[in-house]
Amino acid sequence: MEGMRFYGFHGVNPEERVLGQEYLVDLAVEMDLGPAGASDRLEDTISYAHIYRAVRDVMEGEPRNLLEAAAQSIADRLLAEFPVDSVSVRVKKPHPPIRGSVIENATVEIYRRRSTQPGELT
């Protein structure tokens, strides 16, 4: 899922916590799609709508200081709530408030996967 847009209040500067701003999230999940491809049934895959709502809850929910923490929270939630093998999360903060700068996006990208040990993530 690419180009998800959310309005949040993340950042370390007080004005970011008061004014907020738009954030962009791109997401890739890995799982076995063979059963869904063969059956053509939603029950054999993951609903995009459910994933979107989970990402929205993080990005529009509790403010985080760092983009890294927002990305990690998304990865943790998706790995905990959905039968995915791994997740790649990219969080972008358009035009970050850095005095005298011209920056299109501040971007963080993380990749997390399930461990071979039950209940552990890597």
Residue 121 domain-assigned (yes or no): no
User: In whole angstroms, how large is the CA radius of gyration of the chain?
Assistant: 16
Q: Is residue 107 part of a domain?
A: yes
Q: Tokens representing 84?
A: 């995915």
Q: Whole-angstrom Cα distance, residue 119 to residue 112?
A: 13
- State how far the Cα of 33 lies from the Cα of 71, in Å rounded to an integer: 24
Host domain of residue 30: 4-113
Q: Is 120 within a domain?
A: no
Model confidence over 67-116: pLDDT tens digits? 999 999 999 999 999 999 999 999 999 998 888 889 999 999 999 998 75
Q: How many domains does the chain have?
A: 1
pLDDT value, residue 111 = 98
Whether the Cβ atoms of residue 45 and residue 33 lie closer than 8 Å to each other: yes
Does any domain span residue 31?
yes
Q: Which of 93, 95, 112, 122 is catalytic?
A: 93
Extract the tokens encoding 35. Answer: 């059963």
* pLDDT at residue 59, rounded to an integer: 98
Global model pTM greater than 0.85:
yes
Please report which confidence band the pLDDT of residue 120 belongs to, taking 50, 70 and 90 as the band edges.
Answer: low
Render pLDDT for 12-71 as a digit per residue (tens, 0 to 9).
988 889 999 999 999 999 999 999 999 999 999 999 999 999 999 999 999 999 999 999
Q: Is 92 a catalytic residue?
A: no
- Kindly give the residue spans of alpha helices, DSSP state H, lying in the chain: 14-19, 34-39, 48-59, 67-81
> Half-sphere exposure of 10 toward its Cβ, with a 13 Å CA cutoff?
26
CATH code of the domain in which 81 resides: 3.30.1130.10
